[in-house]
A and B are shown apart, each in its own frame.
Chain A
Amino acid sequence: MPPADPVIIAEGISRRFAYRPVLVDVSLTLETGEALLLVGPNGAGKTTLLRVLAGLLYPSTGHVDRRVPLGMVAHDAMLYPALTARENLRFFARLHGVNGTRVETLLELVGLMHRADDRVGTFSRGMLQRIAIARALLHEPRLLLFDEPLSGLDPAATRTLVQLLTDLRQRGTAMIIVSHQLEQLRGVGTHIARLARGRLGPKDPLAGRDPVAVFTELMREDG
């Protein structure tokens, strides 16, 4: 066993929305270099869990210990439609205390340099998603939270993103990825866990297994 180096520790997280329990006693620890694929049916609480882990939502009970800077790509791009791609990234870069060259690097990385001076409001879903990814990477976070990162991306963009995620993970960035497109994420995930009715199943190492097969297995156990 390598020495434990957790990037985030969540203990006993519960969250209610308008009386309805969405998360029930969720505990989770993630180590450097781990990429957890979080699966589960719609309404299982996956988005809520990511938002609680990110600190955007308070847990009703429980505690989250964030030990490294984190970045997040959620369903909403978290950008301003009236500003251009570059202006958006520059704004968030300033709040992160990151300089402008990083913005240019990321525009290049997500392949949107040619649209950098167009307003984000004119972008397609896939392009918004790419800018959102650039935004999340601005401060070189050591933990990344992704909520359906592949949604809206065309096959080429999907391949680029999967490659990027694999590279990041190999360089030690931990990540939690909520996705239904497991076949595309084959090379990325190191662990898989299932969230159902607000309860998190065990964090299962993939150890070379195919996530799609493991997922099918998990579903079967549920009956």
Chain B
Amino acid sequence: MTQRDRAVRIARWGGVVTGLAILGLAGVYVRALVYTPVEATQGAAQKIFYVHVPAAWGALLAISVTGVLSIFYLWLKDRRIDLAAAASAEVGVAFGLVMLTTGPIWGKPIWGTWWTWDARLTSTLFLFLLFVGYLVLRDVLTDPGIRARFSSVIGILGLILVPFIHLTVYLFRTLHPAPIVLKPSAPSLPKVMLVTLLSSVAVFSLLYLGFLMQRYALGLLRELREEALASAQ
């Protein structure tokens, strides 16, 4: 089986995973809107929570995967790792965009303002922008070897930056609701809401995987084509 065939197969499976995720997404929405009770103080606006939090999760997952893959790239120098890291960054930026749009939509009715310069929001924005920078950098570098190495550096630095940004958030006074699920004590969300949230997170993870596989296969196919074209000249 050639590399091209393998890439095509990954793209196909990625499509299947994405399809399943979209079905799951439909299910989660029905559950969130119909079967999960309306939150007492926040009202219907709280429903966006089931998109916002999983999108944030997806973005963070994607960015962490990019960081870890960047380390592996510098170690093993296999271009497939670099392509996977780039694919993950791109999916992460898409999820980040969802997170950054749903946040203000929730914020308007609850905080009374679209955007607050709340530290967590701000720092997420910076992280998002860093990965936009990562993609821009990839775009302006034409040599695949240099592109892979330079973007790995950004990926690794970004990974290390995440905890620092969180610490900055912690030290800065913040409006943002404190973490609700991953708290040392028992989760403070009612069980029915928690189940909805967690299944949404699971669906978004699946969606991430499906996107990642397709984007990776696409990147690989593009590389193979560029190479074939350049060699044919």
Contact = CB atoms under 8 A, between A and B. Distances in A.
| Direct contact between the two chains A and B in their complex (CB within 8 A) | yes
B4 to A, nearest CB: 15
B145 A19 contact: no
Contacts, number: 22
Chain A: interface size category: under 10
Contacts of B37: none
A21 B229 CA distance: 11
A58 interface: yes
Contacts of B233: 20
A60 B226 CA distance: 16
Interface in A1-48: 16-21
A99 B3 CA distance: 55
A182 B40 CA distance: 89
Nearest to B149: A58
Nearest to A60: B145
Contact of A21 (B143, B144, B230): B230
B231 interface: yes
Interface residues of B, number: 11
Contacts of A19: 144, 223, 226-227, 229-230
A19 B144 CA distance: 7
B231 A21 contact: yes
B142 interface: yes
Contacts of B143: 16-18
Contacts of A17: 143
B144 A18 contact: yes
A23 to B, nearest CB: 13
A18 B142 contact: yes
Contacts of B230: 16, 18-21
A78 to B, nearest CB: 20
A193 to B, nearest CB: 24
Contacts of A58: 145
A209 B227 CA distance: 41
A200 to B, nearest CB: 18
Contacts of B144: 16, 18-19
Interface string B137-160: 000001111000000000000000
A16 B229 CA distance: 13
Interface string B191-233: 0000000000000000000000000000000010011011101
Contacts of A16: 143-145, 227, 230
Contacts of A18: 142-144, 230
Contacts of A60: 145
B150 to A, nearest CB: 14
A21 B230 CA distance: 7
Interface string B20-52: 000000000000000000000000000000000
Contacts of B145: 16, 58, 60
A18 B233 CA distance: 13
A58 B77 CA distance: 13
Nearest to A17: B143
Contacts of B231: 21
A202 to B, nearest CB: 24
Nearest to B223: A19
Interface string A55-95: 00010100000000000000000000000000000000000
A18 B229 CA distance: 11
Contacts of B229: 19
A60 B79 CA distance: 12
B82 to A, nearest CB: 14
Nearest to A19: B230
13 contacts: A16-B143, A16-B227, A18-B143, A18-B144, A18-B230, A19-B144, A19-B229, A19-B230, A20-B230, A20-B233, A21-B231, A58-B145, A60-B145
Interface of B: 142-145, 223, 226-227, 229-231, 233
Given A16-B230, A58-B145, A60-B145, 13 more contacts: A16-B145, A16-B227, A17-B143, A18-B142, A18-B143, A18-B144, A19-B144, A19-B226, A19-B227, A19-B229, A19-B230, A20-B233, A21-B231
Nearest 7 Cβ contacts at the A-B interface: A19-B230, A18-B142, A20-B230, A19-B226, A18-B143, A19-B227, A17-B143
